[in-house]
Amino acid sequence: MLVQLKNMKLYLMLLIDASLFAIAFVSAYLLRFEFELEAVYIGQIKSILPFLLPTKLIVFFFLGLYKGMWRYSSIEDSWRLGQASFLSMLLLITFVYYFLHPTSFPRSVFLMDAVLTFLLTGGIRMGIRSYYSATTTSKGVSAFSLPRIGSMEKDPVTKRVLIIGAGNSGEKILREISENPQLKYTVACFLDDDPGKRGRALHGVPVLGPVDTLPEV
């Protein structure tokens, strides 16, 4: 944890997420009341935000959402985002119930806030990952920007390769190649013995046939 606290990028991530938390909470109120907030609801927002922001940051921190690099965000990270968003909602409801006047708070705001928190924080992470993937693609080394498979001309920069197996392992290999320009490979196709996969594509890379067609391919 001490090493993580010394990383300056951590504080940038905290700042971004804190801003998104505030936007999500205010947006939940605006959507609930059709963008016409009375003074009482503006007061509620001001009274809850000082508790909401540090609480959500702490929950997100201890669920490990600031350990990884956002450019490599995964489905597992999305699950943790969902858990953190709804755990924060429960803590927020508990705070309102014990320290404020729960009857005066619109209950739907809490759920809307959790959903918006998940969408905004997940969206920024996926956006950053997409940006880096697009940057890699623009350098001409990604499997997501292959030349036409029928034309087997040699690429002076990368070496054309094929992957045996179009399952989970093959997908991971393709993704590793596409996201690492240092590998200098371009995936031309997959081969797989599963007849249900033939003629289909994985991230735009076609499955051309079974393994015994390797010499021909």
Ordered per-residue pLDDT tens for the chain, 217 residues: 555 666 778 899 999 999 999 999 999 999 999 998 999 999 999 999 999 999 999 999 999 888 877 777 778 889 999 999 999 999 999 999 888 877 778 889 999 999 999 999 999 999 988 887 776 555 544 444 443 434 444 556 789 999 999 988 898 899 888 878 788 899 999 999 988 888 888 878 899 999 999 999 9
User: For the residues of the chain, what is the DSSP string, one character each?
Assistant: -HHHHT-HHHHHHHHHHHHHHHHHHHHHHHHHTTT---HHHHHHHHHHHHHHHHHHHHHHHHTTTTTS-GGG--HHHHHHHHHHHHHHHHHHHHHHHHHS-GGGS-HHHHHHHHHHHHHHHHHHHHHHHHHHHHHHHHTT--GGGPPPTT--PPPSSSEEEEEE--SHHHHHHHHHHHH-GGG-EEEEEEE-S-GGGTT-EETTEEEEE-GGGTTT-
User: Is the overall model pTM greater than 0.75, yes or no?
Assistant: no
